[in-house]
Amino acid sequence: MENKKPIENIRDIQLLVDTFYAKVREDSLLGPIFEDVIKDNWDVHLAKMYSFWQTVLLKERTYRGAPFVPHAKLPIAKQHFDAWLKLFHATLAENFVGKAAEEAKWRSEQMALMFQNKLNYDRDRQSSALM
């Protein structure tokens, strides 16, 4: 019997975020990058992610910030975003159904694409400035 459910409240967001980041921490590609940046501050990072996804999926305005900025200087490329999406989509598929789960999938794809484009643009600008 499946225990999948709609994403309806903060407890569902916490399950999504906690389950996803447990996968990230074990991933051989993503884990070291996250550990290097977050170190022992996982509680702070997870709380930020609860707030971010609560704002995005539940329309409860609890997140204030610029999500791209912390990623701008990370050593990440397309393969990292692909791995991130694979884990995020797997977490959604294993635990959730419904409109908010589909929205989370779509939003994650859009965010990965936007972040990649911005990173590439910034890196191209920096390379051009050095010439």
Domain contains 104:
yes
Say what the pLDDT of residue 127 is: 62
Neighbours of 26 (CB within 10 A): 10
Q: Whole-model pTM?
A: 0.89
Domain contains 88:
yes
Q: What is the CATH number of the domain that holds 82?
A: 1.10.490.10
Q: What residue numbers bound the domain in which 63 lies?
A: 10-130
Domain contains 123:
yes
Residue 78: which of 18, 123, 16 has the closest Cα? Answer: 123
- Token code pair at residue 41: 């501050």
Neighbours of 16 (CB within 10 A): 23
Say what the pLDDT of residue 70 is: 79
Domain contains 2:
no
Domain contains 92:
yes
Q: Is 96 exposed, middle or buried (0-12, 13-18, 19+ CB in 10 A)?
A: buried
> Domain total for the chain?
1
Summarised one tens digit per residue, pLDDT across range 69-118 is 878 888 899 999 999 999 999 999 999 999 999 999 999 999 999 999 98
Summarised one tens digit per residue, pLDDT across range 3-34 is 899 999 999 999 999 999 999 999 999 999 99
Domain contains 33:
yes
Say what the pLDDT of residue 46 is: 98
Say what the pLDDT of residue 72 is: 80
Neighbours of 52 (CB within 10 A): 18
Alpha-carbon distance 120 to 128, whole Å? 12
Say what the pLDDT of residue 123 is: 67
Say what the pLDDT of residue 100 is: 98
